[in-house]
Amino acid sequence: MTEQQLTNYPVWDKTVRIFHWVNVLCVLGLIAIGTVILNAKGLGVTTDGKILLKTIHVYIGYVFFINLSWRIVWGFIGSRYARWSAILPFGTEYKTQLSAMIKGMKAGKPVGFLGHNPIARLMVGLLFLLLSMQAITGLVLAGTDVYMPPFGNTIKEWVAINQSSVDLVKPYSKEGIDEVAYKDMRDFRKPFITTHYYTFFVLLAAVLLHLLAVVVAELRDRNGLVSAMFTGKKVFSEKPFDMD
For residue 9, count other CB atoms closer than 10 A to its CB: 19
Picking from 11, 7, 32, 33, the residue whose alpha carbon sits closest to that of residue 20 is 11
Tell me, yes or no, whether 7 lies in a domain: no
Inter-CA distances, 90 with 52, 95, 125, 134, 216, Å: 42, 7, 10, 23, 24
Question: What letter represents residue 39's amino acid?
Answer: N
Tell me, yes or no, whether 180 lies in a domain: yes
Q: How sure is the predictor about 6, in pLDDT bands with cuts at 50, 70 and 90?
A: confident
CATH of the domain at 201: 1.20.950.20
Determine the distance from the C-alpha atom of residue 24 to the mean position of all C-alpha atoms in its chain, rounded to a whole number. 8
Half-sphere exposure of 161 (CA within 13 A, CB side): 9
Rounded to 5 degrees, what are φ and ψ at 177?
A: -95, 135
The pLDDT value given to residue 3: 53
Q: What is the dihedral of CA 85, 89, 93, 97, to 10 degrees?
A: 130
pLDDT at 225 over 70: yes
Give the 3-state secondary structure of residue 58. Answer: helix
The CA-CA-CA angle for residues 115, 120, 122, to 5°, reads 120
Digit-coded pLDDT (tens) for 121-141: 999 999 999 999 999 999 999
Check residue 4 and report its DSSP letter. P
Report CA Rg, the chain.
23
Tell me, yes or no, whether 88 lies in a domain: yes
pLDDT at 244 over 90: no
Mean pLDDT over the full length of the chain? 95
Tell me, yes or no, whether 35 lies in a domain: yes
The pLDDT value given to residue 12: 97
The rounded distance, in Å, linking the Cα atoms of 70 and 240 is 28
The boundaries of the domain holding residue 56 are 15-233
Digit-coded pLDDT (tens) for 62-109: 999 999 999 999 999 999 999 999 999 999 999 999 999 999 999 988
Query: Is the preceding peptide bond at 10 cis, omega within 30 degrees of 0?
Result: no
Tell me, yes or no, whether 111 lies in a domain: yes
The rounded distance, in Å, linking the Cα atoms of 112 and 114 is 7
Tell me, yes or no, whether 241 lies in a domain: no
Tell me, yes or no, whether 154 lies in a domain: yes
Instruction: Work out the average pLDDT over 204-210.
Output: 95
Tell me, yes or no, whether 10 lies in a domain: no
- pTM, rounded to two decimals: 0.93
For the chain, the domain total comes to: 1
